[in-house]
């Protein structure tokens, strides 16, 4: 397996108007000359919006289009994407060569449909997105991929690794013996992203072809979507200094959410709504404290001077439990590293750094400390939508596989996994 060059890094170009989109697409036509423009689609669907991008290897750029806002149904999503696709095809005279879309929810085994878990229920049942319902202008049949959102985040990290920039976006929270490594190495990497919920995924690379580098397009990486955010939260030992405080908190949340018939899941506390629950717990005895803040407001109040103690305690437990979930994943699959993904890792960096000793102590607090002390815990350092990058990475690889441009078992596995 010969060494190959790093993948070309796609550069972002923000599009804010219809005129800007037309101008960018016409520049693609000029670059292509007398050949059809080959481009691909990457879309990340959130609970109320969709982030849409178009990429091409012609110019090495991807167009970040204005978000589709107030999208709360599959029907509306498909209609608005069809309108966009018609506008693009009208200019380029050709449909996309491949497409990838990421949504919250577990895809079916054949990856042809997914119940979207952060959309409102329709007639008491989840709304289901089917690949065949998406416009063929942006999602050509047989060359389009449906991903879980955390799968997309994992592929986004793989894309950064593929072009040699993963260490530009993620840095270790504290040093270990191997934390100076560049790029992903052989082993398992957990990926956790706290947002509307708590997403958990796994990047794994246990075997590679003889003579291949672990960095670059020949590494045999695979992605596994997990549901680690729905693990139940274990408490600390009776002699732990935080036992009384934490037990009271977890018991309150269990009573509030489940009538004490079950302990809480990580996502009940480590999510946007979870942070609000933590804040409401710590402020429950203060009638003057506002009770319905946003997650962003709570985070800001925790870092302001003078700080809001209720917000500060909420943020501290939010991050402690995030690290506890990461620790459990590390032990379960013997992770080489953990990625804490999401823009809130960037915006809340000051809080994390201020409380790093406590968070590191939480991560290393295990009956087998030797199993976790060498795990590299990476935190995101620059604003980045890893889901979007992941959809672009997969869509681009679909085209390259069609052309036979990429060897390596990773790409063969990806293609056979998606299109079997």
The predicted pLDDT at position 218 comes to 40
Distances (CA, A) of 360 to 1, 7, 57, 321, 372: 40, 35, 42, 12, 11
Cα separation, 334 vs 273, in Å, equals 30
pLDDT tens digit string along 308-329? 999 999 999 999 999 999 999 9
- Measured torsion, CA atoms of residues 69, 70, 75, 77, in degrees rounded to the nearest 10: 20
The pLDDT averaged over each successive group of 10 residues in the chain (420 residues) is 52 95 97 96 94 94 95 96 97 97 92 93 95 97 94 95 94 94 92 93 71 44 90 97 98 98 97 97 97 96 97 98 98 96 97 98 96 97 95 93 54 47
pLDDT tens digit string along 277-304? 999 999 999 999 998 999 999 999 999 9
Cα separation, 144 vs 398, in Å, equals 8
- Measured torsion, CA atoms of residues 401, 406, 408, 411, in degrees rounded to the nearest 10: -30
The predicted pLDDT at position 273 comes to 94
Place of tokens 């620790």: 327
The predicted pLDDT at position 10 comes to 82
Task: Provide the whole-model pTM.
Answer: 0.90
> Mean of the per-residue pLDDT values for the chain?
91
Q: Taking the chain, what is the end-to-end CA distance rounded to the nearest angstrom?
A: 25
Cα separation, 147 vs 367, in Å, equals 36
The predicted pLDDT at position 219 comes to 52
Cα separation, 114 vs 117, in Å, equals 9
């Amino acid at each position: 397996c010969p060494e190959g060059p790093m993948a070309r890094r796609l550069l972002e170009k923000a599009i804010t108007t219809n005129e800007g989109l037309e101008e960018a697409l016409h520049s693609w036509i000029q670059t292509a000359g007398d050949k059809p423009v080959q481009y691909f689609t990457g879309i990340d669907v959130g609970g109320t919006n969709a982030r849409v991008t178009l990429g091409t290897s012609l110019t090495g750029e991807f167009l970040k289009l204005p978000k589709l806002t107030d999208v709360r149904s599959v029907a509306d999503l498909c209609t608005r994407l069809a309108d966009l696709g018609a506008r693009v095809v009208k200019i380029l005279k050709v449909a996309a060569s491949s497409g990838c879309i990421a949504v919250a929810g577990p895809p079916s085994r054949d990856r042809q449909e997914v119940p979207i878990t952060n959309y409102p229920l329709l007639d008491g049942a989840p709304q289901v997105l089917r690949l065949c319902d998406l416009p063929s202008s942006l999602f050509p049949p047989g060359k389009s991929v449906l991903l879980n959102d955390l799968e997309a985040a994992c592929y986004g990290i793989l894309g950064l690794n593929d072009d040699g920039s993963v260490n530009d976006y993620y840095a270790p929270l504290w040093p270990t013996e191997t934390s100076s490594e560049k790029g992903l190495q052989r082993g398992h990497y957990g990926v956790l992203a706290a947002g509307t919920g708590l997403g958990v995924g796994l990047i794994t690379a246990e075997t590679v072809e003889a003579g291949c580098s672990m960095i670059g397009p020949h590494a045999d990486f695979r992605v596994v979507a997990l549901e680690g955010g729905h693990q139940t939260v274990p408490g600390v030992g009776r002699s732990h200094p935080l036992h009384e405080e934490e037990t009271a908190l977890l018991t309150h949340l269990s009573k509030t959410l489940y009538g004490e018939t079950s302990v809480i899941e990580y996502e009940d506390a480590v999510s946007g709504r979870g942070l609000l629950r933590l804040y409401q717990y710590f402020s429950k005895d203060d009638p003057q404290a506002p009770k319905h803040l946003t997650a962003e407001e709570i985070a800001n109040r925790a870092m302001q001077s003078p700080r809001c103690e209720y917000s500060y305690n909420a943020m501290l437990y939010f991050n402690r439990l995030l690290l506890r979930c990461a620790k459990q994943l590390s032990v379960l699959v013997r992770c080489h590293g953990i990625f804490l993904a999401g823009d809130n890792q960037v915006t809340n960096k000051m809080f994390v750094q201020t409380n790093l000793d406590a968070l590191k102590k939480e991560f290393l607090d295990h009956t087998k400390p030797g199993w976790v002390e060498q795990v590299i815990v990476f935190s995101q350092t620059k604003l980045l939508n890893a889901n979007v990058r992941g959809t672009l990475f997969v869509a681009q690889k679909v085209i390259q596989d069609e052309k036979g441009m990429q060897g390596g078992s990773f790409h063969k596995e990806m293609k056979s996994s998606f299109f079997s």
